[in-house]
Amino acid sequence: MLHYVATRLIAVYLELVDQLADAPILMGDDTSSRVVEVNSYLDQPEADRPPPPWASYRTQQVASEELNQQGSLSLAVPLASELGFEFPLSKRPGPKQSFNTTTVSGRSHGDDPRSLVVLYRSHLGGFGNLLEVLLEKRKPKSRLRT
């Protein structure tokens, strides 16, 4: 039943993501999370690692291809096709190794406190990665002028 409800509410979640992307001010933070599936995979020596359990939604591109080819029973695939899941390190090659729950908040209508959107996203990345995705989703009229 929970899977059924979550599947139906994905469209609402993604609509809130789009509204949040247009907020004039975005604030956020990361909380390090420990997930057995992620930690046990990352604890394996790199040479011996099979594809990760999240291989079908590793990046936006991979998740989009998975969604277009056959759909998916995993709720993570449509979310990753919009928001990504695993992000690259900025200073050396390879993916990030820390699993975070990122919180981003903002008002979709700057003057209206009722328009506050708070987004939670668990991923192999950080606030900066999610912020970059949100800024790319901004509508042209919402882009800040410099």
pLDDT 10s digits, 46-88: 888 899 999 999 999 999 999 888 766 788 999 999 999 999 9
CA 116 to chain centre: 19
Instruction: Write the pLDDT tens digit of every residue in 9-52.
Output: 999 999 999 999 999 999 999 999 999 989 999 889 988 889 99
Q: Is residue 9 included in any domain, yes or no?
A: yes
Domain that holds residue 20: 2-141
Length of the chain: 146
Q: Is residue 146 included in any domain, yes or no?
A: no
Q: How far apart are CA 93 and CA 89, in angstroms?
A: 6
Q: Is residue 92 included in any domain, yes or no?
A: yes
Q: Is residue 124 included in any domain, yes or no?
A: yes
Q: Is residue 24 included in any domain, yes or no?
A: yes
Domain count of the chain? 1
Q: Is residue 46 included in any domain, yes or no?
A: yes
Q: What is the CA radius of gyration of the chain?
A: 16
Q: Is residue 126 included in any domain, yes or no?
A: yes
pLDDT number for residue 15:
94
DSSP characters for 87-131?
-B-SSSSSB----EEEEEEEESSTT-GGGEEEEEEEEBS-HHHHH
Whole-structure pTM value: 0.84
Q: Is residue 69 included in any domain, yes or no?
A: yes
